[in-house]
Structure 1
Amino acid sequence: MSGRVQDRVVVVTGAAGGIGEGVTRALLDEGALVALWDLSRERTQQVADRLDPEGSRVLALAADVTDAAAVAAAVEATTARFGRLDGLVNNAGVITMATSWEEDADHWRRHLEVNVVGTFVCSRAVAEVFRDAGGGAVVNVSSNCGKAGYRNMAAYNASKSAVIGLTRSLAMEWADAGINVNAVCPGAVDTPMLGEVARWLSPRIDLPADEILAGMGVEQLGGRRIDPVEVGRVIAFLLSEDAAIIRGQSISVDGGDTPY
């Protein structure tokens, strides 16, 4: 049986991370050809080798999403390999825990540059290919933090809220070109990044990191964290024709933790 994105070519940014690998796995399960973009060519290739040992359905590339020239080169390399481009998953992002008293302008610039500007740079570069081809789909990875602010991550929260606004704007602007744009807002996904958050919190609230981690996600899905592949399955749907009438939405993928 064919998958929902059978033989479609999809770019996943931030592909060497936990959610990125899970998204790629889900897309491959749904029949896609996937170009993995990340800062580290070595780590990206390791993900590619795990998921596609024969190398027939996955391409690993190094690309800084904030660098327009590097993104343009990655677009060219992707289309040269696969001959087309049908979807983009803007997953690349950064999160650094800090109180608002500790955050400075550089801290904010880093979050906005990667999480927001990087999302726009990649979207615009890929959308130019979509426009010439008659259409395509973009899915931006925001966060439930972009809908409901949390302590000690103001810059991250604000950047993910901006991604939601960007999603809505691009969806409206690009609809006439046949380009569909949506976002997903994951909750507590079981990735190494969640462990980093727990370790940051540990000395500040005087609890062991493993105890903090065990409590993350308890309000969603009956007390378990989300598997990155589950996020990927929602993304595969949004990239498919089944989601053609869903535009400009930011869909919570958090087991009901955020009720909107």
Structure 2
Amino acid sequence: MTMQIKSTAAAASATARADLSGKHALVTGGAQGIGASIARALLAQGASVTIAGRTAASLQAAVLTLQAEVQAGARLDYVVLDVSDAAGVELAVAKVHAAGGAIDILINNAGQAAAAPFLKTDAELWQRMLDVNLSGSFHCTQAVLPAMLQAGWGRIVNVVSTAGLTGYAYVAAYCAAKHGVIGLTRALALELATKGITVNAVCPGYTETDLLQQAVQNIVEKTGRSEQQARAELAAANPQRRLVQPDEVANAVLWLCLPQSAAMNGQSIAVAGGELL
């Protein structure tokens, strides 16, 4: 496994609040979309942030984009890792700890989605959905938890999906994996309830990301609908008749990370305009 870290710092904004000053966050899948928005929100609150992903080039580009948000005394790093590789995650987290200090906040955001009718969902697709979406959260949480327990403080937020709270046709493997993350969230929240560590899940509906664009293209290819029609079909699931924006998901994640949110534990919060009531 290859692991690389870069660091940068910028002057603090005079108006920025520093509710997370002195805290170190690891955001998986942090190079783009929801992950990059979460990283930006955490940086703006004074946290040091390490973004993680599988491609160094995309992580480097994200660092350049995000560096203006870094507050005085904080750091912005990146690490190349594959969340489905348990040994690789353990090694990467150890190196991140050595370079930037213990991780206080873990955002399990890395994920993949694939659609297929159930009878065409082969063992490889099934296992891949479990490996990335469920086992990835497990591996990263196990790697960072000892330091959180030693510190007596921590925040773990699993970015799941409304697919973790309800069913959707043609994505049985994805739904099963995401439901598993909700179960993991609830069980671990109870186990850690007296340890100063909270565990919660944020469940976005259809959100304006590269992953959604892939879903749009899939609809276009399989149904012959136009891209505009495909996007409208996805937006229709939201009672607000629109797609969720990455910053809206990031705001929910940030709130759960704040010291003031210590009573929030074991919750699965849908960010979906009222889709699930």
Superposition map of 1:35-54 within 5 A: 35-52=50-67
Paired position in structure 2 for 1:76 = 94
Instruction: Say which SS state the counterpart of residue 158 (structure 1) adopts.
Output: helix
Distance 2:18 2:201 in 1: 21
1:27 and 1:233 in contact (8 A); partners too? no
Pick 1 or 2: higher relative contact order, CA cutoff 8 A, min separation 6.
1
CA contact (8 A) 2:154 2:197 kept: yes
The CA deviation at 1:223 is 2.3
Equivalent runs, 1:112-191 vs 2, <5 Å? 112-191=130-209
What is aligned with 2:118? 100
Which letter does structure 1 place at the counterpart of 2:21? Q
* Cα pair 1:5 1:236 within 8 Å, conserved: no
Residues of 1 paired with 2:40 and 2:158: CA distance? 17
Alpha-carbon distance change, 53 to 2 in structure 1, aligned in 2, over 3 angstroms: closer
Aligned AA for 2:65? R
1:201 & 1:100 partners in 2: Cα distance? 17
Which of 2, 6, 22 lines up with 1:7 in the alignment? Answer: 22
Kept in 2, the 8 Å contact 1:187–1:217? The answer is no
Does 2:255 align with 1:237? yes
Aligned to 1:176, the other structure's residue is in SS state coil
| Secondary structure at 1:52 match in 2 | helix
2:275 maps to 257
Mean Cα displacement is larger for which, 199-208 or 52-61? Answer: 52-61
Identify unmatched segments of 5+ residues in structure 1: none
TM-score, normalised relative to structure 2: 0.88
Partner AA of 1:132 in structure 2? Q
Structure 2 counterpart of 1:216: 234
Q: Secondary structure at the match of 1:181?
A: strand
What is the CA–CA distance in structure 1 between the aligned matches of 2:262 and 2:246, rounded to whole Å? 24
1:111 aligns with 2:126: no
1:32 aligns with 2:47: yes
Instruction: Report the Cα distance in structure 2 between the residues aligned to 1:33 and 1:248, rounded to whole angstroms.
Output: 25
* CA distance in 1: counterparts of 2:155 and 2:163, whole angstroms: 24
- TM-aligned CA deviation for residue 18 of structure 1: 1.2
Identity of aligned residues (%): 37
8 Å contact from structure 2 (residues 240, 274) kept in 1: no
With normalisation by structure 1, the TM-score equals 0.93
